[in-house]
């Protein structure tokens, strides 16, 4: 179904195909989880075969209820996903008045490439990171951290903004939102159950044993404790086994939902880096931005769905490549050096945040050095020249 992404066009096509696959595969995953719940409620059966038969017979009821709840959650999340994202990350909107430098850099990028100006958000944290979200190019959102804005100069910050703008243009942001919503549906209850299970229970109180009474049917919980009340211990053991099997099915379904995040191909970061170089014409700025980010990108307080959307996630770039969501920064820089002719300065020592120099006049604007030839080498003038010209015209009142 997917073709090798040899360029931005095929990457966008693959993203659309993955979004359709997520939509098609979600009902199957939901049915799998509903079957696990149905198995638990069939724990009062006389045999394991009868329990599975009862669970299969009751599956339409549980699946229908789950579908109603999931549809309600999906509708709410689809309409308010950005508010939820802002609430989770603590981001607040950016205006021209609140952060003129960030606004001007973003506006210049969009004007120079004919893109719709995305909404800007800012997270007040020293971590250096950014991410893009939104379901369409006309309603995209780019969120950055205060640490990123303070640590990067204009060229580097423009490269990062261009990187996130490419994520919106390529459909990566839309795919990330869909995966986060679906994964959230599948893991919401499971996560809450896990937190409850990790909380130590209070010590049991000494109570007199209940009077013995004949076992009665009419509920799986009666079968669970039937052996304690004079019934068959085998029936109690069977009920426990059936409940364990149902819980395992639910855990497997929740684990499979993590695969939704793996639909976010790691190639998206390489292609966004390539798109940023194509927009700015400045591979060196993208490389130095990555070098400044790698030392302080950790945002462990964010859930996994959001960390998969970040410009860089140290936890997402570690471990087996099959489960990682981000390529290591060293690999991304190596690709930029090889294909974009960029120069790697190596790890950058932490110094005082650079101050943006005053914009020179158009006639005095220094010409940025064009990177060496490569497949991603710019074919137009670097964005730094456009930035200088636009600022000079603005300052002269043109």
Residue 122, phi then psi, degrees to nearest 5: -135, 130
**Closest by alpha carbon to 381, among 294, 304, 278, 303?**
278
pLDDT for residue 144 is more than 80: yes
pLDDT band at 271 (very low <50, low <70, confident <90, very high): confident
Determine how β-strand 119-123 pairs with β-strand 91-93.
antiparallel
pLDDT for residue 38 is more than 70: yes
Task: Choose from 55-59, 242-246, 284-288, 318-322 the range with maximum mean pLDDT.
Answer: 284-288
- pLDDT score recorded for residue 162: 95
pLDDT band at 123 (very low <50, low <70, confident <90, very high): very high
pLDDT for residue 104 is more than 70: yes
- pLDDT score recorded for residue 376: 52
pLDDT for residue 226 is more than 70: no
| DSSP class per residue in 220-276 | HHHHHTGGGGTS-HHHHHHHHHHHHHHHHHHHHHHHHHHHHHHTS-THHHHHHHHHH
- pLDDT score recorded for residue 12: 63
| DSSP class per residue in 302-366 | S-HHHHTTBS--TTTTSS-TTT-SS--HHHHHHHHHHHH------SPPP-SPPPPPPPPPGGGPP
For the chain, give the mean pLDDT.
75
Q: What is the pLDDT of residues 324-363, one digit of tens each?
A: 678 889 999 999 998 888 888 888 776 554 555 544 443 4
10 vs 92 pLDDT, higher one: 92
Q: Which domains does the chain have, with CATH numbers?
A: 8-85+178-195+218-262 (no CATH), 92-174+265-395 (3.30.2010.10)
Distance CA 53, CA 87 (A): 44
pLDDT for residue 92 is more than 90: yes
pLDDT for residue 20 is more than 50: yes
**CA dihedral sign of residues 378, 382, 386, 389:** negative
74 vs 199 pLDDT, higher one: 74
pLDDT for residue 284 is more than 90: yes
Task: Choose from 63-77, 102-116, 356-370 the range with maximum mean pLDDT.
Answer: 102-116
Distance CA 9, CA 24 (A): 23
Cβ contacts of 338 within 8 Å, gap of 6 or more = 374
Task: Choose from 6-15, 43-52, 64-73, 275-284 the range with maximum mean pLDDT.
Answer: 275-284
Residue 65, phi then psi, degrees to nearest 5: -65, -45
pLDDT for residue 372 is more than 50: no
pLDDT band at 259 (very low <50, low <70, confident <90, very high): low
| DSSP class per residue in 343-360 | ----SPPP-SPPPPPPPP
Distance CA 189, CA 37 (A): 12
Burial class from Cβ neighbours inside 10 Å (0-12, 13-18, 19+) for residue 13 reads middle
């Amino acid at each position: 179904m997917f073709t090798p992404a040899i360029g931005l066009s095929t990457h966008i096509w693959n993203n659309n195909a993955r979004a359709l696959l997520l939509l098609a595969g979600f009902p199957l995953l939901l049915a799998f989880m509903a079957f696990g719940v149905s198995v638990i409620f069939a724990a009062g059966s006389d045999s394991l075969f009868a329990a599975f038969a009862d669970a299969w017979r009751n599956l339409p009821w549980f699946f229908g209820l789950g579908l109603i709840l999931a549809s309600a959650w999906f509708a709410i999340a689809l309409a308010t996903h950005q508010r939820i994202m802002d609430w989770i990350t603590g981001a607040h909107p950016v205006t021209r008045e609140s952060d003129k430098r960030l606004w001007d850099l973003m506006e210049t990028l969009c004007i120079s490439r004919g893109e719709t100006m995305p909404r800007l958000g800012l997270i007040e944290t020293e971590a250096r990171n950014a991410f893009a979200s939104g379901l369409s190019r006309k309603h995209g959102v780019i969120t950055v951290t205060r640490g990123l804005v303070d640590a990067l100069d204009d060229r580097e910050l423009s490269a990062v903004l261009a990187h996130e703008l490419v994520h919106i243009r390529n459909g990566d942001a839309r795919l990330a939102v869909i995966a986060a919503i679906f994964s959230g549906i599948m893991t919401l209850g499971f996560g809450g159950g896990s937190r409850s299970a990790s909380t130590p229970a209070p010590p049991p109180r000494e109570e007199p044993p209940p009077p013995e009474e004949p076992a009665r049917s009419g509920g799986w919980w009666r079968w669970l404790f039937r052996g304690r009340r004079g019934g068959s211990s085998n029936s109690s053991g069977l009920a426990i086994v059936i409940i364990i099997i149902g819980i395992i099915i639910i855990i497997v379904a929740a684990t499979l939902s993590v695969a939704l995040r793996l639909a976010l191909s790691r190639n998206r970061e390489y292609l966004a880096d390539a798109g940023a170089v194509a927009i700015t014409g400045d591979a060196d700025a993208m490389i130095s931005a990555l070098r400044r980010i790698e030392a302080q990108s950790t945002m462990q307080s964010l859930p996994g769905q959001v960390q998969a959307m970040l410009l860089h996630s140290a936890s997402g770039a570690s471990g087996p490549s099959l489960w990682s969501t981000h390529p290591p920064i060293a690999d991304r820089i190596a690709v930029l050096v090889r294909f974009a002719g960029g120069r790697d300065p190596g790890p950058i020592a932490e110094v005082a945040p650079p101050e943006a120099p005053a914009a020179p006049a158009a006639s005095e604007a220094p010409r940025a050095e064009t990177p060496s030839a490569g497949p991603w080498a710019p074919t137009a003038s670097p964005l730094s020249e456009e930035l200088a010209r636009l600022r000079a015209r603005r300052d002269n009142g043109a």
